[in-house]
Structure 1
Amino acid sequence: MPAGHTYTDPLGTERAWESAHRQTRPATSAVDGVGIVAILQRRGSDGSQQQQQQQQRTEPELLLQRQYRPPVDRVMIEVPAGLVDAGETPAACALRELKEETGYVGEVAGEEEGFGISPVMFNDPGFCNTNLNMVHVTVDLSRPENQNPQPELEDSEFIECFSVPLRDLYAECRRLEKEGCAIDARVGTLAEGIEIAKRWKLV
């Protein structure tokens, strides 16, 4: 909803600022919702050398979505995402939303190492107070429940899922933009990070 703020700048001048506030954040949560970095991989089940070699040849892919967004009147390229329910952790929210929007069953990656859930991120602080955690999830495509994933979409949701090799994400964003799609900032920032890491040989 619209909101107005009055504040004093560093020079002592009183100023007004118009913004929007999301009203759905649960009292028990530090964030409104989550974005999900879902990495699709195939793991061998018996540890055989053949399956290990197959796993090494299978490049990780990022799960993405196409979804029309009325505020920008464009089809957006996004990661799966959703709002946190009351009493729900960001990790639980991510796994629930992933299953509902894509049909995939995943696991939070590296949670014990502090990697699984990002710091709190503000989507557009110059305009609104909306914030989120990015949650890193791995999806094992060899699991039986991931062989034929069936989304559980609401009547108002029209979402198309697809995947892109992580190494090609930046180039794919460029291609999709030329086709008329709009790139969500979470997807674009991830693509920029991968491209920077490649160009400056950070890994």
Structure 2
Amino acid sequence: MASINKSKVLKVEPLNHNDAKWATLVKITYSDPEGVQRDWEASERLTRPKGSAIDGVGVVAILQDPAKPNDSPRILLQKQWRPPVNATVIEVPAGLIDPKESPEVCAVRELKEETGYVGQVVGDDFGVSPIMFNDPGFCNTNLRMIHVTVDLSLPENQNPQPTLEENEFIETFSVTLKDLWDECRKFESEGYAIDARVGTLAEGVECAKRWKLH
């Protein structure tokens, strides 16, 4: 596979509202707590299926080997170049939800398509997160984070092969979960961009370590 680092932005130009396929700009008129009428510029996704509460999912996939119970758990990450930031981004597997698809099914499907791994959603109430908004001051895009375990002893996970679309160039790798904060620092120093979902997860792990939340 050609290195995604060879990707580059060639041109940036205004997008006509009628040509937008995935997102659009809107002006929201609202009344503040003092009754003053104000305007707000925002972006809205055009891809959310009818009846769905979310646009998509992010997948926290933890690799586990039953034969090595004392090994530190590893989290599955990806490198993917993103045109809006003109950089290769460190991300978790993620994707848009299909019509009438549950978040859990979407997560397992996207994980298999993007990484080749077959995962299982955590069975308790930690499996599916509350709905999260990526940047509520700018857009209505939202998602649920789905927590998944990947059993490395299963035959289907011995030689995982992704089934990427022709415009997807994704490199999959893993790091130890306890070192995620340090890894993010390292990637940033090497010129990578850090997806907020990865950075926030890393920050949470680091907070738990520093303030001994266990």
TM class, shorter-length: over 0.9
Residue pairs, 1:58-73, within 5 angstroms: 58-73=71-86
Residue pairs, 1:39-188, within 5 angstroms: 39-43=62-66, 51=67, 54-56=68-70, 58-110=71-123, 113-188=124-199
Give the RMSD, CA atoms, in angstroms.
0.7
Pick the aligned partner of 1:14 from 18, 31, 37. Answer: 37
Distance 2:172 2:206 in 1: 23
Q: What's 1:47 paired with?
A: none
User: Offset at 1:95?
Assistant: 0.2
User: Offset at 1:28?
Assistant: 2.6
Which SS does the other structure have where 1:168 is aligned? helix
Pick the aligned partner of 2:53 from 5, 17, 30. Answer: 30
Aligned residues: 191
Q: Which consecutive segments of 4 or more residues in structure 1 shift more than 2 A?
A: none
User: Offset at 1:61?
Assistant: 0.4
Which SS does the other structure have where 1:135 is aligned? strand
Distance 1:84 1:70 in 2: 22
Q: Which runs of 5+ in 1 are unaligned?
A: 44-50
Q: Which runs of 5+ in 2 are unaligned?
A: 1-23
Distance 1:140 1:28 in 2: 33
Corresponding letter in the other structure for 2:117: Y
User: Offset at 1:145?
Assistant: 0.5
Q: TM-score, normalised by structure 1?
A: 0.92
Single out whichever of 118-127 and 21-30 deviates more from structure 2. Answer: 21-30
Which SS does the other structure have where 1:71 is aligned? helix
